[in-house]
């Protein structure tokens, strides 16, 4: 059994200004509900527990309190607090909340069609948290998402990492850094999607040149902003600031790319500028596993039912996960919702297992590897003491077509319950399932279902 | 278990394609297909069963213990054997994998009503997606003109292998689309509303009825000149071929049923996302449903109320139901009906219902059950072989037999 260091709460760095601390505290209070009573601990008892970062436990107990996991271990050897609410998981399978590294739910739109490079645009400014698609995610066991702008631009805008808590505004869903800033990456794309008439690139070579020019400007901006004398610093530029964060490694580039040569182009730019990058979709990653392994660049893979649909995806293979595993390349999956349905995210990994990936790596690819791609592995992606209490109770084997998500829990609170008719409607579909604002915590007092 | 040559999937495909084209003697080969479980779709599954294949047909089916294996028969083993799967509605072969102009022949947008367009004039049996779905056990495809125009053209029922592939029905149905997806883009183009769609269709059927009456004139001199468009609809009015009506909203499904009642034409409902709202009416009309892919994207508008349970609710209501891979216009370019069956099974259809919906029930709805859809002596030797429960994601299709020939030996 492993337990968390007693009572330690992640503190803010001493350097954070007191005013920001107060603001953060207020935000935290709002998100949790101002009048929330102290939450009872919960214990999920008796089920098969797949912690991901440690060995499966055939009959296990997961204890959560104050939104965190406090213990994971075999039932009977894992103390359960006397006041804990018991959730019987006998015959069930308990896994960490799933991490989707690439989603378009929430109706958000990033950069527009006015220019090919728009690193200043934030998708978080456009997301409808009452979108039915967000609630369908929790019906599929997803708890953490990277919501991305589309791939029609070279730089489509800033992505946002969200936790699918019950909230009325996007602020309630955000992950934040210690200074209170929303966490997210930067969406980039190459290949055919961003190509069209000027001012967009017409060729792959032009696309790379435009990106290089912009990163050179960002490097220069970053150098000048480091000037000790504030008066000598340039005026703040939101576009260059976002790219400079990528150069500093505090913002990860999430790069749409399909063809093997496009993948190698991203690796070349990364080598030149030193940004941190996750490659997304990677239809032809199976052709260049050695190059990917040498670069140590992680890949987030989409799994779809057939190759093609566009020329760049003609050589897509269900075996990409297996090839990357063999090569030692970190591999996660994503839904690209609406390209694949978030409610069927487990299926992506199951099809990869069909094509030769190990079950262990396939489950990691839905959880901890995705968390690492978002720099959130200290908080989510596995069942470990000290991590956020985000977990999913399944009816059985994660990779069986028959398995259902029975309940989804975020920070210790249930956000999806298949036995609840409103939640079941989202999980299964049916009349009204597509309506937004389909949430009982919305619009207090009214029945808007 | 090994991955399907992951480093070189295209070479594998090429190898398989070459293999199935270079075995000229294979059609006459006698096979004994042994399965731990053989789903005949005629009565209970047979444990430790065998299917004897000769001259492209099924010669015998039964328990291995009591079924003689002809001398010289090649023995093929699998964990589970099913009839070759029947994908009840697809556009594969007209729609190609590249999704570029040159391989997209499923929809002509120049006119709203074109029942004269034949599927056989556009079907490419060498299309990669045909090979792709065949690798997952599909041996019979109902494919043709796509949803997306009021009357987009005809469909056909064809095998997924053969040189040339066996065409079971060259003119299977005529594809009609009601609702938003049946309307062309552009302000001034007709039909622009749901009512207009129905009005145009009624008018065309009336014209065809008139044409049919005049064409039956005993005096040949008084008959109108042959008109392919009206000829096709006249065949519908004569009950020779059904309309395949794609309709998702309950409003559009009701319109379709109203039209069937008014004109007496045979009809098969397609997609039918909100069919669960009209179970009694659909059953009373005697109309079968080829339900949308179980995993259809819910999206917004026409399909936002789609349910994983529609197939099971239709079947529970006593309505004949089949599953389909459907029509996709982006990535993926086609779905796989085997996977759709798996999800339908998990959502109330159960294994028996799901297997039936991709074999014998689909064959009956398509009018080809005398040839395919079950394992019975005398039927075409179309079989799918699996290394486990076919309705699990992690099971592989280890072999596919079409017209008695082992055309792929997976695993996929």
Q: What residues of chain A lie within 8 A of the CB of B128, using their CB?
A: 307-308
Residues B183 and B276 in one domain: yes
CA–CA separation, A303 and B332 (whole Å)? 9
CATH number for the domain including B396? 2.30.40.10
One domain, residues B188 and B71: no
Question: Is B348 inside any structural domain?
Answer: yes
- What is the rounded distance in angstroms from the CA atom of residue B364 to the CA atom of residue B61? 21
Confidence of residue B298 (pLDDT cuts 50, 70, 90): confident
Q: Which two tokens stand for residue A382?
A: 């596995």
pLDDT tens, position by position, B75-104: 999 999 999 999 999 999 999 999 999 999
B134 within some domain: yes
Does B65 map to a domain? yes
CATH code of residue A207: 3.20.20.140
For residue A108, the distance in angstroms to the closest alpha carbon of chain B comes to 14
Task: Kindly state whether residues A222 and A192 are assigned to the same domain.
Answer: yes
B90 with B78, same domain: the answer is no
| pLDDT of res. B27 | 58
The parent domain of residue B15 ranges over 9-84+374-408
**For A176-193, what is each residue's pLDDT tens digit?**
999 999 999 999 999 999
In-domain check, residue A438 = no
Same domain, yes or no: B299 and B203: yes
- Domain containing A58 equals 2-96+390-418
Same-domain check for residues A166 and A263: yes
B4 found inside a domain: no
Q: Are residues A365 and A317 in the same domain?
A: yes
Name the domain count of chain B. Answer: 2
CA atoms within 13 A on the CB side of B145: 33
- How much is the pLDDT for A193? 96
Are A234 and A317 in a shared domain?
Answer: yes
Q: Span B287-306, mean pLDDT?
A: 92
Residue B270 lies in a domain: yes
Q: Assess whether B117 and B223 both reside in one domain.
A: yes
**Token pair for A97:** 């909340």
Q: A306, B392: Cβ pair inside 8 Å? A: no
Phi/psi for A54 (5° steps) reads -145, 175
Report the share of chain B in percent with pLDDT over 70.
93
Domain count, chain A: 2
Q: Does a structural domain hold residue A119?
A: yes
For residue B290 the two structure tokens come to 């080829």
What is the average per-residue pLDDT within B294-307? Answer: 89
Question: In the predicted model, is pLDDT for residue B49 greater than 90?
Answer: yes
In a domain, B296, yes or no: yes
Looking at the structure, tell me whether residues A40 and A158 fall in a common domain: no
User: How far apart, in whole angstroms, are the C-alpha atoms of residue A422 and residue A404?
Assistant: 16
Asked whether the beta carbons of A349 and A366 are under 8 A apart, the reply is: yes
A356–B1: do the CB atoms touch at under 8 Å? yes
Examine the domain organization and report whether B78 and B191 are in the same domain: no
Closest CA to B412 of A310, A319, A245, A187: A319
- Residue of chain B minimizing CA distance to A287: B7
Task: Indicate the residue of A356, A431, A432 with minimum beta-carbon distance to B2.
Answer: A356
Measured at the CA of A176, the angle between CA A174 and CA A178, to 5 degrees, comes to 165
- Could you tell me which residues of chain A have a Cβ less than 8 Å from any Cβ in chain B? 132, 136, 286, 304-311, 313-315, 317-320, 322-323, 338-339, 341, 344, 347, 350-351, 353-356, 399-404, 428-435
Looking at residue B7, what is its pLDDT? 37
Is-contact B140 B372, C-beta < 8 A? yes
Cα–Cα dist B340/B323, whole Å: 7
> Is pLDDT above 60 for B15?
no
Residues of A within 8 A of B345 (CB-CB) are: 401-402
Is residue A301 within 8 A of residue A334, CB to CB? The reply is: yes
Do B169 and B310 lie in one domain? The reply is: yes
Tell whether A424 is covered by a domain.
no
For residue B279, the domain's CATH number is 3.20.20.140
Least Cα separation, residue A98 to chain B (angstroms): 19
Evaluate whether residue B3 is within a structural domain: no
Please indicate, yes or no, if residue A151 is contained in any of the structural domains.
yes
Q: Answer yes or no: do B334 and A323 touch at CB < 8 A.
A: no
Q: Do A90 and A141 have their domain in common?
A: no
| pLDDT digit string, tens, across residues A191-225 | 999 999 999 999 999 999 999 999 999 999 999 99
A371 vs A332, A377, B196, B244, B401, CA distance in Å? 9, 5, 52, 47, 44
Cα-trace Rg, chain B: 22
Shared domain check, A219 and A143:
yes
Instruction: Confirm whether A426 is domain-assigned.
Output: no
Statement to judge: residues B52 and B75 lie in one domain: yes
**Comparing C-alpha atoms, which of A340, A352, A305 is closest to residue B90?**
A305
pLDDT band at B276 (very low <50, low <70, confident <90, very high): very high
A286 contact residues in B (CB cutoff 8 A) = 6-7, 9
Decide if A314 and B306 are in contact by the 8 Å CB cutoff.
no
In Å, how far is A326's CA from the nearest CA of chain B?
11
Radius of gyration from C-alpha coordinates of chain A: 22
Q: Give a yes or no: residue B2 inside a domain.
A: no
Residue A382 lies in a domain: no
Within a domain: A381: no
In this complex, which of B97, B304, B309 lies closest to A434 when CB atoms are compared?
B304
In a shared domain, residues A102 and A212: yes
CATH code where residue A61 lies:
2.30.40.10
Chain B nearest CA to A303, separation (Å) = 9
- Which pLDDT tens digit goes with each residue over B177-193? 999 988 887 777 899 99
Is A89 in the same domain as A114? no
> Cα–Cα distance between A172 and B177 in angstroms, integer?
43
Are A111 and A260 found together in one domain? yes
pLDDT at B351: 97
Q: Which of B100, B305, B332 sits opposite A429 (nearest CB)?
A: B305
Same domain, A145 and A159: yes
Which residues in chain A come in under a pLDDT of 50?
A: 1-35, 438-449
In a domain, A440, yes or no: no
Residues A217 and A333 in one domain: yes
Query: Do B93 and B76 belong to one domain?
Result: no
């Amino acid at each position: 059994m492993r337990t968390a260091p007693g009572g330690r709460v992640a503190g803010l760095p001493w350097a954070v200004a007191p005013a920001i601390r107060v603001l953060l505290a207020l935000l935290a209070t709002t998100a949790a509900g101002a009048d929330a009573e102290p939450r009872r601990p919960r214990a999920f008892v008796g089920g098969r527990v797949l912690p991901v970062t440690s060995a499966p436990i055939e009959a296990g107990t997961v204890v959560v309190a104050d939104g965190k996991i406090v213990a994971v271990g075999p039932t009977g050897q894992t103390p359960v607090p006397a006041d804990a609410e018991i959730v019987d998981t006998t015959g069930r399978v308990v896994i960490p909340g799933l991490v989707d590294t690439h989603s378009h739910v929430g109706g958000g739109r990033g950069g527009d069609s006015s220019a090919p490079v728009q690193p200043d645009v934030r998708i978080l400014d456009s997301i409808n948290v009452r979108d039915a698609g967000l609630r369908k995610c929790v019906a599929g066991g997803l708890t953490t998402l990277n919501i991305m702008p589309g791939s029609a631009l070279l730089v489509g805008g800033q992505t946002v990492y969200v936790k699918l808590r019950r909230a009325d505004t996007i602020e309630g869903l955000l992950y934040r850094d210690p200074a209170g800033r929303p966490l997210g990456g930067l969406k980039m794309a190459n290949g055919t999607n961003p190509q069209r008439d000027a001012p967009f690139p017409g060729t792959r070579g032009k696309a790379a040149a435009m990106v290089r020019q912009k990163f050179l400007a960002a490097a220069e901006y970053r150098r000048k902003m480091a000037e000790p004398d504030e008066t000598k610093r340039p005026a703040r530029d939101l576009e260059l600031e976002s790219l400079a964060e990528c150069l500093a490694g505090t913002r990860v580039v999430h790069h749409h790319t399909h063809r093997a040569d496009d993948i190698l182009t991203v690796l070349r730019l990364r080598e030149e500028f030193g940004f941190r990058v996750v490659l997304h979709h990677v239809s032809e990653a199976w052709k260049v596993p050695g190059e990917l392994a040498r670069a140590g660049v992680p890949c987030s893979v989409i799994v779809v039912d057939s190759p093609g649909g566009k020329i760049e995806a003609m050589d897509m293979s269900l075996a990409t996960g297996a090839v990357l595993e063999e090569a030692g390349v970190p591999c996660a999956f994503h839904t690209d919702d609406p390209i694949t349905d978030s409610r069927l995210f487990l299926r992506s990994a199951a099809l990869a297992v069909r094509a030769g990936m190990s079950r262990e790596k396939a489950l990691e690819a839905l959880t901890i590897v995705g968390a690492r791609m978002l720099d959130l592995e200290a908080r989510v992606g596995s069942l470990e003491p000290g991590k956020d209490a985000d977990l999913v109770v399944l009816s059985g084997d994660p990779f069986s077509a028959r398995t259902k998500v029975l309940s989804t829990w975020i920070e210790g609170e249930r956000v999806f319950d298949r036995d609840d008719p409103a939640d079941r409607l989202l999980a299964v579909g049916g009349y009204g399932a597509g309506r937004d604002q389909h949430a009982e915590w919305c619009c207090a007092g009214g029945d808007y279902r | 278990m090994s991955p399907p040559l992951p480093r070189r999937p295209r070479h594998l495909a090429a190898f398989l394609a070459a293999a199935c084209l270079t075995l000229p003697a294979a059609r006459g080969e006698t096979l004994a297909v042994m399965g731990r479980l053989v789903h005949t779709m005629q009565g209970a599954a047979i444990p430790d069963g065998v299917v004897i294949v000769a001259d492209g047909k099924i010669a015998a089916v039964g328990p291995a213990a009591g079924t003689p294996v002809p001398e010289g028969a090649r023995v093929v083993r699998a964990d589970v054997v099913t009839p070759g799967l029947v994908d009840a509605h697809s556009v594969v072969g007209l729609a190609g994998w590249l999704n570029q102009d040159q391989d997209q022949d499923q929809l002509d947008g120049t006119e709203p009503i074109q029942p004269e367009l034949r599927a056989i004039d556009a079907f490419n049996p060498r299309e990669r997606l045909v090979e792709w779905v065949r690798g997952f056990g599909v041996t019979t495809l109902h494919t043709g003109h796509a949803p997306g125009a009021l009357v987009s053209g005809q469909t056909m029922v064809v095998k997924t292998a053969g040189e040339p592939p066996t065409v079971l029905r060259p003119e299977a149905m005529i594809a009609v689309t009601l609702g938003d997806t049946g309307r062309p883009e552009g302000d001034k183009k007709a039909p622009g509303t749901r009512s207009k769609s129905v009005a145009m269709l009624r008018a065309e059927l009336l014209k065809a009825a008139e044409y049919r009456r005049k064409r039956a004139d005993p005096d040949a001199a008084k008959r109108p000149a042959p008109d392919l468009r009206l000829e096709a609809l006249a065949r519908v009015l004569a009950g020779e071929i059904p309309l395949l009506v794609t309709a998702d909203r309950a409003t559009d499904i009701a319109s379709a049923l109203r039209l069937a009642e008014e004109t007496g034409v045979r009809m098969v409902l397609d997609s039918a996302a909100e069919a669960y709202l009209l179970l009694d009416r659909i059953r009373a009309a005697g109309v079968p449903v080829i339900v949308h892919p179980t995993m259809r994207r819910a999206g917004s508008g026409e399909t936002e109320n789609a349910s994983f349970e529609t197939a099971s609710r239709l079947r529970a209501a006593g309505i004949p139901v089949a599953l389909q891979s459907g029509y996709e216009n982006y990535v993926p370019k086609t779905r796989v009906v085997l996977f759709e069956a798996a999800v339908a099974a998990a959502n109330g259809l159960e294994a028996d219902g799901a297997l039936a919906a991709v074999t014998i029930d689909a064959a009956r709805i398509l009018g080809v059950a005398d040839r395919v859809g079950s394992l019975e002596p005398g039927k075409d030797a179309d079989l799918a072989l699996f290394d486990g429960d076919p309705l699990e994601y992690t099971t592989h299709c280890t072999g596919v037999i079409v017209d008695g020939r082992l055309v792929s030996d997976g695993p996929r």
